Amino acid sequence: MFQKKQITEQQALSKLTGLCARAEHCSGEMLDKLRQWRIDEEAQARIMEYLIKNKFVDDERYTRFFINDKIKYNGWGRRKIEQALWMKHVDKSISDPIFDEIDPEEYLTQLRPIIKQKLKTTKANSDYERSMKVIKYAMSRGFEIDLIRKCIDDADIFDETY
């Protein structure tokens, strides 16, 4: 069977610096790549130290951009973003303070149009059934139930859908 040639420490470092120069990445992603390339742990530590020291990788900077982009461009709520960051091995001690800086009104600004649109397109036999379907949808987008209820209970939303 065909086996991949293992790359050297210098080749790995070169590839990762090039990758980080083109886009923002977190240390978890870089470590995953190094493991995938079967780089030994001592070399991984040296490479990560270099990337962090020279600001190619900065988990706080990455997390700040990631959270901002997912809220503004993808319409995700906190729970979904937290899960995505967990999958990228970003520590909660990095992400929680960044989430705390976000004004709850910013979430509502993203959530209101999502709920309004979903209310317009959701078919149901009663307002209760419709709101349950919309709640389930908004929760799948990562929004907290208290914010969802606040938007659904808002009389303006229901007035505009009928």
d(CA 49, CA 135): 44
Q: Tens of pLDDT along the chain (162 residues)?
A: 555 668 899 999 999 999 999 999 999 999 999 999 999 999 999 999 999 999 999 999 999 999 999 999 999 999 999 999 999 999 999 999 999 999 888 888 899 999 999 988 999 999 889 889 999 999 999 999 999 988 887 745 454 444
Query: Given phi > 0 = left and psi -120 to 50 = alpha, else beta, which region is 144?
Result: beta
Note whether 108 and 151 are within 8 A (CB). Answer: yes
> Rounded to whole angstroms, what are the CA distances from 143 to 28, 33, 41, 71?
25, 31, 38, 10
Contacts of 91 (CB under 8 A, 6+ apart): 59
Cα–Cα separations (whole angstroms), residue 32 to 23, 43, 47, 132, 141: 16, 13, 13, 39, 26
